[in-house]
Homo-oligomer: A and B are copies of this chain.
């Protein structure tokens, strides 16, 4: 079948860290040539959609606009807007995270409140401190809703695999004896948010990614067909072991007939 909407992962799929994946650029050029809609679904909450699009365009020559970028920051903002509705400016949040997350959350009109917020949102924060963990812990124990942006335990940097959002969130899960409500892949929330915000049909959409445990599981749980590309995390051996296979598999994205 020919898919009308592509949902595309970034790291391992469009590039590898700072290294280019030339076949990815060919694939996106093909989508553009056939005027097929595509969106980038990343678990990165530290950057704004504009920063993510600029990185793709300037460093990887992959055509991307800010409104094609979907992140847990945006999906979380939509989630709290749904929850509080028109009345959101009378509610408050405490956020552990970088500017990408904070700008999305406080862009909804919700107020910042360190002591008695309605909701605590925890994501990756390179400046996290004990004080921030204490505020989050006390607020959740007082009854605030606890949202975790994404469960990724690690992310790669030039020094190795450093703590990811999932590790930061696990401290707060331990200190509150509560599990966070997660938004990022592999949860279906980001795809459901994209369907709602971008108005496309799930049944003709395809989730494309290199990581079975995040990208492909996200597609499966949202009820969207999936394409695993072997340019990143998951290997053929990994996929032999899983019971629910990706809908499609491909060695590199230039081999995929859009």
Which A residues fall within an 8 A CB radius of B? Answer: 125-130, 133-134, 137-138, 141-142, 153-154, 159-164, 166-168, 170-175, 177
Contacts and interface: CB of A to CB of B under 8 A. Distances in A.
Contact of A167 (B126, B133, B160): B133
A97 to B, nearest CB: 12
Closest 3 CB pairs of A and B: A167-B175, A163-B175, A170-B174
A100 B161 CA distance: 30
A137 B154 CA distance: 10
Given A153-B177, A171-B170, A163 B130 contact: yes
Nearest to A166: B174
Given A126-B130, A163-B172, 7 more contacts: A130-B163, A134-B159, A162-B175, A163-B171, A166-B174, A167-B174, A170-B174
24 contacts: A125-B130, A127-B130, A128-B130, A128-B133, A129-B129, A130-B163, A133-B167, A134-B159, A137-B154, A137-B161, A137-B163, A137-B167, A138-B159, A138-B161, A138-B162, A153-B174, A153-B175, A164-B175, A167-B171, A167-B172, A168-B171, A170-B170, A170-B173, A170-B174
Contact of A129 (B128, B142, B154, B173): B128
Nearest to A127: B130
B160 A141 contact: yes
A161 B141 CA distance: 8
Nearest to A163: B175
Nearest to A168: B171
A142 B160 CA distance: 9
A162 B139 CA distance: 10
Contacts of A168: 130, 171
Contacts of A177: 153
Nearest to A161: B141
B141 A163 contact: no
Nearest to A133: B163
Nearest to A128: B130
A133 to B, nearest CB: 5
A216 B126 CA distance: 39
A241 B149 CA distance: 38
A126 B168 CA distance: 16
A163 B173 CA distance: 10
Contacts of A160: 137-138, 141-142
Nearest to A157: B134
